[in-house]
Amino acid sequence: MKVVKRHCDPQKNKVVYFIFENVQAKNGPKQKHNYIIIIKQTKIMRTELNIKIIDALYNAFSTGDMPTVLGLMHPEIEWNEAESNSLADGNPYVGPDSILEGVFARLGANHEYFGLQDVKVHGMNDNMVLATLRYDAKVKATGKSYSAQAAHLWSLNDEGKITVFQQFVDTKKLADSEK
């Protein structure tokens, strides 16, 4: 059996097909039989990949590897901080540079430390991933520490780039630490 044609169409329905040719000769002339094998990328495969991408983002963030964090984002990513969060003043942040300057740089400037704890990543349908976690931080201006429950909803495109981020967090706890 040999492959005579291979087709990959990841932009549309993610179906890959191969046409195999099987040449048989049994007591007579050779007969050709073509077989089409269709391999479809399953939702489970896509979900597992999305989980790995978001996991890689959190691992990079925890080590301060901002080039990796930003590199996982689509150039037109839309980033939304939770309503009533002081960082929501720039919503939506569009693009990695906007997020770096409007969110990450401000977090670093305003906190003695800011870390993510107990991160759990959950796969969802429609190229979405939910992460549940806690923020462990201390505000420089007030000296107040906080441990705030949070959830992050991520959307990815078919190429595995992050296109949308939505934060959900205990904004009262954040606001109280800033006063």
Full residue range of the structural domain in which residue 20 is found? 2-40
Backbone phi, then psi, for 113, in 5-degree steps?
-150, 150
Q: Domain check: are 28 and 53 in the same one?
A: no
Q: Domain check: are 89 and 129 in the same one?
A: yes
Q: Domain check: are 14 and 58 in the same one?
A: no
The residue type at 149: Q
Structure confidence at residue 158 as a pLDDT band (50, 70, 90): confident
Q: Domain check: are 70 and 157 in the same one?
A: yes
Q: Domain check: are 59 and 36 in the same one?
A: no
Backbone phi, then psi, for 143, in 5-degree steps?
75, 5
Reply yes or no on whether the pLDDT at 51 is more than 90. yes
Q: Domain check: are 121 and 162 in the same one?
A: yes
Structure confidence at residue 169 as a pLDDT band (50, 70, 90): very high
Reply yes or no on whether the pLDDT at 127 is more than 50. yes
Enclosing H/E stretch for 136: strand 128-139
Partnered with residue 164 across adjacent β-strands are 78, 155
Q: Domain check: are 126 and 85 in the same one?
A: yes
Partnered with residue 22 across adjacent β-strands are 33
Q: Domain check: are 109 and 162 in the same one?
A: yes
Buried/exposed 116-154: b ≥16 CB within 10 Å, e otherwise = beebebebeeebbbbbebbbebbbeeeeeebebebebeb
Q: Domain check: are 13 and 33 in the same one?
A: yes
CATH classification at residue 165? 3.10.450.50
Q: Which of 147, 149, 179 is nearest to 167 (CA)?
A: 149
Q: Domain check: are 81 and 94 in the same one?
A: yes
> How many domains are there within the chain?
2
The lowest-confidence range among 13-17, 109-113, 157-161 is 13-17
Write down the pTM of the prediction.
Answer: 0.77
Q: Domain check: are 106 and 18 in the same one?
A: no
Reply yes or no on whether the pLDDT at 170 is more than 50. yes
Q: Domain check: are 24 and 69 in the same one?
A: no
What pLDDT is stored for residue 31 in this prediction?
55
Quote the mean pLDDT of the chain.
84
